Structure 1
Amino acid sequence: MPAPSRRTVVRTAAWSVPAVAVTAAAPARAASASPTITVVTSRGTQSDGVGALVLSLDPAPTSTPVPSATYDDTGATSGAFTPAGTSGTAALYTLEFSTTTTPTPTTITATVTVPGYGVTSASITMGLAGSLDATFADPLLNSSVLGIAATPAGSLLTAGTFFSAGSPARSQRRVARVTSGGALDTTLADPGLDSSANTAVPQADGKVVIGGIFTVVGGQSLNVLARLNADGTVDPSFAAPQPNGFVSAVTLLADGRMLVAGDFTTVHGTPRKKLCRLNADGTLDTSFADPGLDAVTLSVALQPDGKVLAGGASTKAGPSGAARAKLARFNADGTLDSSFADPGLDGSVNSIVVQSDGKIVVGGSFLTAGTSARARLARFNTDGTLDTSFADPGLDRNVLGIALQPDGKILAAGAFANAQGVARGRLARFDADGSLDRTFGDPALQGNAQKLLLGPGGTVYVGGLFTKVGRTSTPRSRLARIHL
């Protein structure tokens, strides 16, 4: 009996694709009695209305297939179809799609046909990660937020350049407290700062340490660093440290003392270059040595062992001017930790977080670390050497703030619009290896994001200069809560 023709084989195949159509479009593939197409995984995000399916074609085709897809959402269309590796005898491909439907559907069903392999379908959950949490109201801050901190009572303290907040608008000069629902907390009086606050840090007793470039607080002459009572009035028991340059960051220690960073060279008239430690009453802690940094310190992080990481624009540290390009580590007494290598960054460090394994993640304006490309986000080993297992994040503009999730994923906020060639408007999430987490959609913040603070129930607070969020341009004046 003669062998059946190709047309005959196609017509009797179990997947019943019309013979002429399949013969014309089917890709060449390795011999197999039962070619299959299956969906390996899928993802989608509501914030930007994009998603993807990973398809397995078994056996692997020997030429590029041309799929077709239909969706139960009329606004959805297919995008790129690209190789995604292999699995055994199968080839994997990623089919991207996007939708113009607003609001984005919570699920989208895709039906995909690949000639010669058949038909498969999947219901893709369009995840909330990266989208606005609408239950947090617009606080109506009229200018930028530069600092965010959580109070023991669950509200938020914000610091910045704003001078009014809430509806109706109320005078709230540079420091405000916001409820967990986004409303202005009017029990905090207008502190009356005459210029910007870069940070506002709550103490366990409800008092608030503030730092910035201000010179007046509540009608009193207080230069760049002060403490407020829980009601927003000036705390007279806090000695005026009078740094001779602005304060950029304050970190409270468990014993009530505090690390203060900025652009000063003296505190209480005593030399302390860009970093000092104060006692709980505001007096200088003289047991913490002058760190000898030669340029502004913008961020500070405390390690569990008491050592202090300082990031900024400095290139030298310590009494002998040891090379430390933008990041240095100090012992608990303020002396330079010589066991921490010069990281060799070529741009400033704006934010630092320490992982549970001791590795250090920094964000800033740098493009390289030593001889390695690291565009604005990098991770270092505990000895200061570059962690080469963390990929170049490929951010196109500066990182201003970072936060670490409990699962090890890293959030970065800043002025960027793209990460690793993918649109990410001022906020992006990276996996532990530095690759972009595509399950976190583009939040499309319309204006820079400056600071991040992990919030309740899988959310993150974002503060900055933005006024709108998401592709629907929902108003959010300088403070928003985003789903993770």
Structure 2
Amino acid sequence: MNHSVRKAGWVALTAGALLVGGGACGGDDGPSDNPPSDGGTQTDAGTQPDAGTKLPAEEGRALAASNGGLVVVGATEANLATTGVDLLVRRYTASGEVDTSFGNQGSVVLDFEGPAKGPISGQREQDDRADTVAVLPDGSILVAGFARGGSASSSRDFAVVKLKANGQLDTSFNKTGKSRLHFGEENAVDFVGTLRSILPLADGRFYVGGFLTKSDGLDEDFALIRYNADGSLDTTFKSAGSPSGSWIGGAYTDAESVQGMVLQGSSVVLAGGDNFAAVRITSSGSQDLTFGTSGLAKSEGGQAHALVARPGGGFLLAGQRQDVQVGGTKHGVLKLVAYTADGKPDVTFGPAGVRELTAPAGVLDVVDVSGLRIQADGKVLVFADVYAKPVLFRLQANGDLDTSFGTDGMVRWPETQLTVPLFIRSTTGPKLTVLGDKAFVTDANVYSAGFFPDEARVLLKSTGL
């Protein structure tokens, strides 16, 4: 990215009326208070729809444990005809049912209206989506993602929402509960970005991280923003060439995206994207050039999609590397990279800190990694798609497959999409939660035997979990 562009101003805006949609019990997606765009009949939360009723398409993107249950965020097409794709927040109880005490019958649907600035500001239809969520100690909820700049533009602005524990907008945050950051000059629709990670601080401030790129899509840069608790930008966080309140990374590779953050004292390590890149940013907003090599840790090849801190210091990234020759055929393989606390390769984990799983044959053709957790005993859980099927890996602390887990260290799910938008399977350690074909791990006890369709329950029992 041309660094001179970064000096252009941005605007923090609030926009849009609050639209609240209904939730659903068990495996049913709940409709909105507004009629679905396909003309289907509405149903009340917690009831089964009539045969033939079409429910609005929804996509779960991330989740967090909340009061023993789960908050799930993503997007919904409940109001597609009027406001486009809207940001969705839904809370489930510990038994897997929609928590009807939250928002409107369990759900909050938010529209950010029009682009923040631009020639198409008269158009309301655009896409808004949540990609990350964090629950604060007081039960309030931070949600972040993007608000699209309009149907005629690929521009995307950073979007942040704060909800009270009951799902109502917290109007102490930016006066409306919502904040939108627009990059570039006024009336420009040049930038595409989204927020993928939230890191709350003990004093109420918080970081959000993601990526920012020009609309031509030629390069994605790390983007890190620090907010005050009241939703204003923390302008004490400054970096040369970036607007106050932000640190925008350089063009280290073709694509850097903050997929996770780890707090180290007063500094923050952020990582993700091509070549498993990671950097450390000080509390003042400058890049720590003592980290890694000249300020950058990386492992050539592949793309990282998840980051966690390791016991005793350091951190672990998980992702995949494509086109790896195994037996004369190219495959995608699961790749894990361990760095020390200072961004150096942790050679105790593997050569150059890297482990790539190429055996047994069942681990090959990894196409996506979307979950990573280190258990209390040091074992590592990784969720990915393998042969287009959801798979949960468990590895020893040194990166070897834990063959006592499932079959050859893996638990698999059926290839066909399950009819439920969210299902939860208890384990002896952390709990696994799956949304469609994506899975995440939480420590909350959130399993109810009656929550599964019969065929799914049988298939899951056969996995050995």
TM bucket (normalised to shorter chain) is 0.5 to 0.7
Determine helix, strand or coil for the equivalent of 2:308.
Answer: strand
| TM-score, structure 1 normalization | 0.55
Q: Distance in 1 between matches of 2:228 and 2:200?
A: 10
1:196 matched residue in structure 2: 129
- Which residue does 1:260 correspond to in 2? 208
Query: Does the alignment pair 1:435 with 2:395?
Result: no
* Matched residue SS, 1:338: coil
Q: Give 1:270-419 correspondences, 5 Å limit.
A: 274-290=223-239, 291-294=247-250, 295-313=255-273, 326-341=277-292, 342-366=297-321, 375-391=334-350, 392-394=355-357, 396-397=365-366, 398-417=368-387
Residue 68 of structure 2 is matched in structure 1 by: 154
Shift of 1:437: 0.8
Q: Is the 8 A contact 2:96 2:423 kept in 1?
A: no
Runs of 4+ deviating beyond 3 Å: 137-144, 161-164, 365-368, 446-449, 451-457, 467-470
Indicate the SS of the match to 1:388.
Answer: coil
Instruction: Judge conservation of contact 1:265–1:274 (CA < 8 Å) in 2.
Output: no
Aligned alpha-carbon RMSD (Å) = 4.2
Q: After superposition, what is the alpha-carbon deviation per residue over 1:277-334, rounded to whole angstroms, capped at 9, x for unaligned? A: 111111111222333314552323223423212123378xxxxxxxxx6221222323
Deviation for aligned residue 1:431: 0.2
Q: CA offsets, 1:160-210, max 9 Å, x none? A: 23568xxxxxxx962111111111101112321343211222222222111
Distance 1:425 1:463 in 2: 9
CA contact 1:138–1:475 (8 Å) conserved in 2:
no
CA distance in structure 1 between the partners assigned to 2:395 and 2:76 by the alignment: 31
Mapped contact 2:91–2:98 kept (Cα < 8 A)? yes
Find out whether 1:175 has 2:89 as its counterpart. Answer: yes
Aligned residue number for residue 59 of structure 1 = none
Counterpart residue type for residue 398 of structure 2:
D
Mapped partners of 1:312, 1:191: distance in 2: 29
Partner of 2:144: 211
Contact 1:148 1:452 in 2 (8 A): no
Q: How far apart are the structure 1 equivalents of 2:424 and 2:374?
A: 9
Check the 8 A contact 1:212/1:248 in 2, yes or no: yes
Aligned 8 A contact 1:259 1:277 in 2: yes
Find the aligned partners of 1:308 and 1:215 in 2 and give their Cα distance.
28
Q: Is the Cα–Cα contact under 8 Å of residues 263 and 274 in structure 1 kept in the other structure? A: yes
Alpha-carbon separation, structure 1, partners of 2:200 and 2:404: 34
Shift in alpha-carbon separation, 1:205–1:383, aligned structure 2, 3 A: closer
Q: Post-superposition shift, 1:348?
A: 2.8
Query: Paired residue for 2:326?
Result: none
Residues 210 and 258 in structure 2, CA contact (< 8 A), matched pair in contact too: yes
Indicate the residue corresponding to 1:226 in structure 2: 161
Alpha-carbon distance in 1 for matches of 2:179, 2:87: 22
Q: Which runs of 5+ in 1 are unaligned?
A: 1-136, 165-171, 217-221, 267-271, 316-324, 419-423
The residue number in structure 2 matching 1:145 is 60
| 2:435 equivalent in structure 1 | 464
Q: What is the match of residue 7 of structure 2? A: none
How many residue pairs were aligned?
Answer: 310
Could you tell me which amino acid in structure 1 is paired with residue 233 of structure 2?
L
Q: 1:332 to 1:263 in 2, by over 3 A?
A: same
8 A Cα contact 2:411 2:464, kept in partner = no
Asked whether the equivalents of residues 163 and 173 of structure 1 are also in contact (C-alpha less than 8 Å), the reply is no
Three-state SS of the structure 2 residue aligned to 1:254 is: coil
Task: State the percentage of identical aligned residues.
Answer: 25
Structure 2 runs not aligned, ≥5 long = 1-24, 30-56, 79-85, 112-127, 150-156, 183-192, 215-220, 240-246, 324-331, 358-362, 440-450
SS of the residue aligned with 1:406?
A: coil
Q: Which amino acid aligns with 2:341?
A: T
- SS for the counterpart of 2:100 is coil
Q: Which moved more, 1:256-265 or 1:275-284?
A: 256-265
The answer (yes or no) to whether the contact 1:265–1:273 under 8 Å persists in 2 is no
What is the rounded CA distance, in whole Å, between the counterparts of 2:321 and 2:238 in structure 1?
A: 28
Change (3 A) 1:206 1:382: closer
SS of residue paired to 1:213: strand
Question: Structure 2-normalised TM-score?
Answer: 0.57
| Counterpart Cα distance in 2 of 1:334 and 1:483 | 47
User: Is the radius of gyration larger for structure 1 or structure 2?
Assistant: 1
Which residue matches 1:47?
A: none
SS in 1 for 2:73: strand
SS of match in other structure, 1:474: helix
Give, in whole Å, the separation in 2 of the partners of 1:251 and 1:455.
27
